[in-house]
Chains A and B, each alone.
Chain A
């Protein structure tokens, strides 16, 4: 018999309500709360442990919570990991997403959760976790647990998994080819779609285009000779020891580095950790990505007021739009605080 482990928050883990939301993670052998229902519905696995963690604990001490739970799991045998259902509870949804993602990355097992469509955890983690569309509140507990169990059984038996729409989980942004059961050739599909479009009837594209999130162009800097200019880059230029441990791809971290006493960036002191291009040129001369040397020259000539004390770095390759937007917003706060007037944003 295969083994499953379930993650719950303090409420469903029967520790207590909001007053217990700071509850530190524990792992219990056996079935607590919804674990019993999950165990009943699962045919191809038994639920061996229940993990419980307070929603606030996960929210405010995420690194500690994740590390503790991953340590719990280190010596456990399990083939699949479940979290929730989280219904519409936002913090719980976030917690389920965070822990599922971490467990998947560390142990490589399938991770399954369930949330209401309006739970912010859906948008945050749908790409990393099978999140099934669940009910609004705990009244749907049995139904949502059953859905998770059914899909879990399907994964464990090695059965062919159908597209997101058919299985009922939120699409993960992963597109694969499938053969249509109807065997309807593309020539029929394309002509029928055109006729519908021409007649103003509803049609369904086979390749939905995501809405472009356009940023308006900023107004020009009024007087460049008095402006403070900063350099931000997604080319991964960091001090050689990469003190902020920025990832070489799919970055979630960024760093700021003091250059107030430098005329230019020296190879050997700075390098690129970007995994998406040949690093030779940037390692030899990091100014090709962070053009500090050129800006210093402009500073001397009086073309610009001054170069901002720090430059900012992350890595663009494989980085999701959501993470990039978050990091951008965080960096902007620093720039605004330092009264930076203009930014040179270098992509690679």
Chain B
């Protein structure tokens, strides 16, 4: 499987007559773009705003981030989700770099939604403050979940994917500035030089805790709750086979943009043939029932062992209940003789004194940690808010609250906010961006 990712670096985004890319300038025909958004009649109101790093802008409730792309070799960017089911990870895909499509609710937020500050103290808490963003601010008629804390955000998330593909299509016929090539020989047909290196798998645990459909991450459109771990080519992940869900407290969430750019996968590719032999990805999940957790851990260990893996990285999209899957998987791999490193965040409480993961095991002796979900963050008012600031307090965002005996409400009258890291949009960057770690005080 050979994937060519053709990159177009975006220096500026403007609105104009024709959606096009020229010399680093991405021009978007707003009207046409909005008509793509409104193809779904459930979208009742929609607008597009361009925000850049350094802008005095606060975005909340942010629901999704997607990199604008097109599949040059034909077919939907997200097979099985936005179009017909085809194999991802093979052929040519073009991507607009340094930018993302952000989907923001015009009013209503939920447990899984987050906040982004494009400048000031708050900017460091999310990856997306350093990107040029095309922000879709919209509302829907999905009244059944308007006041639900858990929202599927279906219309908005799918609108975001359509929009990103519409924008991405403007570079379909252009020659990219650079082409990244990702290719792995079949596992048992690798050169002796590569085969003699320690063999490594990446075990991904995407979010799948909800029993009802519509909330979990999808693999080729299939609910990750309804699968047992399976072997995937890393190219598939980088090329739209995985999309983000709408469930997890936001700082722990992996957005679709995160899947498309998964830094740990790219890092393993870089190391492939040098210090290790990258076998591929074992796609697992994070189901709630104990038996499901044990079943997944058993499948992962068996696949890793059957593939001949010497080492594994296990990355978890979540905290709390999923920590049980994370630790169980590491233990199962270690027991099978696969040397394993974990990649996660922690929940040590506002005072930092709580046990970092729900379960611990001495076999998990190598963990990279990307932050504390419950770290308390206070930020001054921001000149412009896109979306609705009150959603942070009112709608049960995982890091916000309506009132607190000591701290008062999350949103103050002057626009100051106090919140937990939990509600920072994909803030802990467990996919590998994170420059945060945890230290003992």
Contact = CB atoms under 8 A, between A and B. Distances in A.
Interface of A: 127, 161, 163-165, 171-180, 183-191, 193-195, 197-199, 203, 205-207, 209-212
Given A186-B430, A198-B276, A178 B366 contact: no
Contacts, number: 152
A164 B340 CA distance: 28
A197 B439 contact: no
Contacts of B200: 194, 198
B290 interface: no
Given A191-B268, A209-B360, A175 B435 contact: no
Given A163-B441, A186-B370, A209 B267 contact: no
Contacts of A206: 367-369, 437-438
Given A186-B368, A194-B366, 14 more contacts: A164-B440, A172-B440, A173-B353, A173-B440, A179-B124, A180-B437, A186-B430, A190-B343, A190-B432, A193-B341, A194-B341, A205-B365, A209-B362, A212-B362
Among A179, A194, A195, chain B packs the most CB atoms within 10 A around the CB of A194
B365 A209 contact: yes
A164 B276 CA distance: 35
Interface of B: 124, 198, 200, 263-264, 266-268, 271, 275-276, 310-313, 315, 339-344, 346, 348, 351-353, 356-357, 360-362, 364-372, 375, 421, 429-441
Given A161-B441, A173-B353, A175-B440, A186 B433 contact: yes
Nearest to B363: A209
A197 B371 contact: no
A165 B436 contact: no
A141 B124 CA distance: 42
B112 to A, nearest CB: 21
B375 A176 contact: yes
B437 A178 contact: yes
B75 to A, nearest CB: 29
A177 B437 contact: yes
Contact of A178 (B344, B365, B421, B438): B438
**Pairs of residues from A and B, 3 with the lowest C-beta to C-beta distance, nearest first:** A187-B432, A163-B439, A171-B440
A96 to B, nearest CB: 20
Given A177-B438, A207-B438, A190 B313 contact: yes
A174 B264 contact: no
A200 to B, nearest CB: 9
A209 B361 contact: yes
A191 B264 CA distance: 8
A127 B353 CA distance: 9
B314 to A, nearest CB: 10
A186 B429 contact: yes
A191 B274 CA distance: 12
Contacts of A175: 346, 348, 352, 356, 372, 438-441
